[in-house]
Chain A
Amino acid sequence: MDDLLKEFVTETAESLAELDGEIIKLEKNPNDQDLLGNIFRLVHTIKGTCGFLGLPRLESVAHAGENVLGKVRDGELEVGPEAVTLILQCLDQIRTLLDILEQTEAEPEGSDQELIDALNALADGGAPVIPCAPAAPAASQIQEISQAQEGEAAAPDATLDELEAAFANAKGPEELAAQAGTPAAAEPAPPASPPAPAAASDGTEPSRRKESVANQSIRVNVDVLEDLMTMASELVLTRNQLLQILRDQKESEFAAPLQRLNYVVSELQEGVMATRMQPIGNAWAKLPRIIRDLSNELGKDIQLEMKGAETELDRQVLELIKDPLTHMVRNSADHGLEMPADRMAHGKPETGTITLAAYHEGGHIIIQISDDGRGLNIQAIKEKCIANGLATEAELAGLSEQQIQQYIFKPGFSTAAAVTAVSGRGVGMDVVRTNIEKIGGTIELNSTAGVGTNVVIKIPLTLAIVSALIVESGGERFAIPQLSVIELVRASSRTEHAIERINGTPVLRLRNRLLPLVNLSELMELRPPVVSEAGEGGPIGEQGPIDDNGDRDLTGEKDPAGDENLADDKELFIVVAQIGAYSMGIIVDRVFDTEEIVVKPVAPILRDLKLFSGNTILGDGSVVMILDPNGIAAATGEIAMTNDASDAQDERALSQSNGKVSMLVFRAVDDTPKAVPLELIARLEEVDLEKVENSGGTYVVQYRGQLMPLVCMDPNKVLADNGMQSVLVFSDKDRSMGLVVDEVIDIVEDHLSVEIGSACDGYMGTAVIDGKATDVIDTGYYLNLAFSDWFDGTDSMLTAGNGKDGRPRLLLVDDSHFFRNMLQPLLSVAGYEVVTTESAAYALDMCHAGEMFDVIVSDIEMPEMNGFDFAREVKKERRWAETPLVALSSHTSPADMKQGREVGFDDYVAKNDRDAILLALRETLTEQRGAA
């Protein structure tokens, strides 16, 4: 195609897109002179260029349109919906002609007389006659017209003369341009309008739109921009070198000009960077027109609100999300919003609102599309799922509404009961999702029946500019996306924020919470550059940072230098990062400034490194890796950031009103994390394996002047002869047992609910702890194992358990399955016959059934009937009134204890203090017997 023609087609298409939006604005503000001026100018430009290129048919249509607009601008004509529809039709016709022109490189035969007549009639002040149904765009029209008689071809000319005459009265475009303060010479340079694939307008766009001043943008080829960017970067590098030289030479006459150069280069680089970015509003430009058309077509009143249109994102991403966005807005208008009558009936305003919002968050761009419509129809989705074979009724019955809603993203799902012309185009939400996921984004949907639907699209920072915090660790700099950083804490032994350790795992007390910490240099297996170890086997000169790459094979070994890094007297910085609902501290050596960075994907050979979300070039020209907080969290083995896990956590939080339990998570036997309530553990120890002896098939070690049995969870495990071994020490009175573990991972505070029971000895079952399936250890089993072995393998004392051999009979009332299971073996081992029950009501039933106990141990915090009420009831029962009562509670404030005594508890002990429990029981029973 002729270059000139090609350019004309692109330009005009862009002008038309802009016009759509402008005209709809005009309908709302008919008296906005600036707006009118801009519209007029755009149409005039189209007409003028057509004339220049010899495209009479296009010219005549544009001319008729311009004529109407001229009258409107001069106040001779009022803008009404019909007029707008007619003008839009005129634009559509131009577009159709343009499409044909693009394909065939020639104007199609035919005439647009009908449309031109209608426009002229309107311009003459007559009632507008809309030639076609408003919803039928010119596509069909063009066929009709091309079939029209050729004899009519002369007609336009005649009309044209009239029009010219009419137009002569109107203000010319040159005058207009002069008014707008733009040189007329700029006129032929067409506007670089929003969706321009090659547009360079960008930064100036929003302000220009507001002021509606003549367009100040020019068109630049993307390649030119990319080259410019490259050049600017190189200039930065050269400048850096110059500055380096300058630093070495104290006195130099180049100093002043170099500073100036420095400044200019920085500005230049910023400017060039800015050309990559475009406001998201560009992708939204078409939407007002679409909504207006839909509004008419569907008979709904729809208001489109757009927020954050100035949010910038990479041109490339912009192109990719345009279509999914359009589709979703259509969906909202078509399926989401109700008919005005229905809305009134539900007490909602007649006008439905669709809101588009865009903003940066957590290194992502978030785009929200929400409507205040009827929400998703869960029932309809269910039926559709079943009809389409996506799920069975039974499967759906077990799902939450939220989960059912997700089915609309499944391929082959279309929500509209009847496929309408608007959104039922065979493109479903599945395609939308696929497109968004293709660029690494996610899409989430939330819908409340009767209130509306909210779709959140999250596009990752790739390709986008983000603000990042630059930190240093182990002599290397890294960028952390600013938005995942909550705060910075300076930690040293001299401040209130000192890093403390649990078995080597660093933690920080921050506002009465323990913040798990991860040392970045350890995680990255980096050593401070000053520490260079000899013996690499290479020539001299390999020192410093580069030295360390070779040593990374020694994974798993604790890096001594990394530990030194945490020496108490050293000042460190902790970057508190938020990952979903989880916060974590990242220990770094230094914190620099924040910097705006352009994220670039890493080379394919590095894609496996999940700790990085990309890399970037900083202002000083150096390359830094961008940390992915999600990846770091995942690498510490603590949390899985899947939606499912967080959902599961939420559900547990709801289902279990109990407080959180601190769990020690460790690894033993296999890779599945194991957990045990922290309260049960007396100490964490490292035992020297050389001191471990094998006595009669049992490993024992001298510990605090006594022999302590070491129990392995895997009975066949053979301990090594030397080295250190992590051991969890469980103490019971004067006896201790060590449980051999491979590695202590962390301490996690979480709700504990054993979801899957276990048939294996030693396991209570599997629970989700911090988003991971974790085996919860039955400590009682191992205690039993150790102690039974300890007592010559004869467990007569423990096995009887029927109360007949004189053992005190104990009733344990606790709603927590876990604590019952935890305490029962412990109490059994201590010599009690234990009966457990999960509620006070059941306990009272036992009382009525004639059961007798020597002592009753009851939890205080229980649903329905709490421990205090239970005690009052017990004291009322003649049969149990004398039975001593011991309260177990996690609240042991003096006030609680006082209340406990008042209602009749003989003793009140903290739930987590096992020694105290046993002591209290012993004392209570002794007193009881003494009294008896």
Chain B
Amino acid sequence: MTTDIGSDQSQEFVTFSIVDQLFGIPVLQVQDILRTHRITRIPLAPPEIAGSLNLRGRIVTAIDVRRRLGLARGDQDNCLSIVTEYDGELYSLMVDSVGEVLALDPSQFEDNPATLDPTFKTYSEGIYRLNDQLLVVLDVERLLDYGQRRAASA
């Protein structure tokens, strides 16, 4: 799932925002965009796991991206979800709003600023300088890699 940053081709990103910050995920990693869905809570699960839902007969684990990024929880009733597959499992990433698909020029890409918040740094692949704002490329793999997190925190 490596996003081929640094190649000359421009890449397409699905953009979304969380707390007014623009994020992007490579369009090829996105399977679906969902409106509110009935979510089943999972007791005792980590706080950022909002629950699970049924997407066409498959059970999808809903991740509250706000919580995962260490932000306050958002309005879960009006959020949108981006469905992505990681390691054979489906996850829906709950975000505030989903924007358009942008084709971005690699020349606009930059590594994470050294002073970035550590949580953000963990899940950000880098930053695109758009004309009017900055776009954080979300590293879906890291975001969903709980095994690593467990190992690191243990």
Contact = CB atoms under 8 A, between A and B. Distances in A.
A234 B34 CA distance: 14
Interface in B45-79: 45-47, 49-54, 56-59, 61, 67, 72-78
Interface in B16-38: 38
A604 B147 contact: yes
B101 interface: no
B54 A622 contact: yes
Contacts of B76: 541-542, 546
Nearest to A614: B59
Nearest to A543: B77
A233 B40 contact: no
B77 to A, nearest CB: 6
Contacts of A603: 52, 59, 61, 89, 91
A545 B89 CA distance: 25
A524 B45 CA distance: 10
Contacts of B104: none
Contacts of B61: 603, 605-606
Nearest to A610: B44
Interface of A is mostly: mixed
Given A234-B56, A604-B89, A605-B144, A611 B73 contact: no
The size bracket of the interface on A is 35 or more
Contact of A605 (B43, B46, B72, B73): B46
Contacts of A231: 56-57
Contacts of B78: 541
B87 interface: yes
A623 interface: yes
Interface string A523-559: 0111000000000111111100110111011000000
A667 to B, nearest CB: 21
A621 interface: yes
B47 to A, nearest CB: 5
A712 to B, nearest CB: 32
Contacts of A612: 42
A553 B47 contact: yes
Contacts of A549: 41, 45, 47, 49-51
A605 B146 contact: yes
B72 A233 contact: no
A615 interface: yes
Interface string A595-639: 000001011111011011001110001111100000000000000
Residue with the highest number of chain A CB atoms closer than 10 Å, among B45, B56, B57: B57
Contacts of B38: 621-622
Interface string A545-584: 1101110110000000000000000000000000000000
A552 B44 contact: yes
A476 B89 contact: no
Given A234-B57, A541-B75, A546-B50, 15 more contacts: A476-B41, A524-B43, A524-B44, A525-B43, A537-B72, A548-B41, A550-B73, A552-B43, A604-B89, A605-B46, A605-B146, A609-B45, A622-B38, A623-B51, A625-B42
17 contacts: A231-B57, A233-B54, A234-B56, A237-B56, A525-B43, A526-B41, A541-B76, A542-B75, A549-B41, A549-B47, A549-B49, A550-B73, A552-B43, A603-B91, A611-B43, A615-B59, A624-B40
9 closest cross-chain pairs (CB), A and B = A233-B57, A524-B43, A605-B146, A603-B61, A623-B40, A230-B57, A234-B56, A623-B52, A541-B75
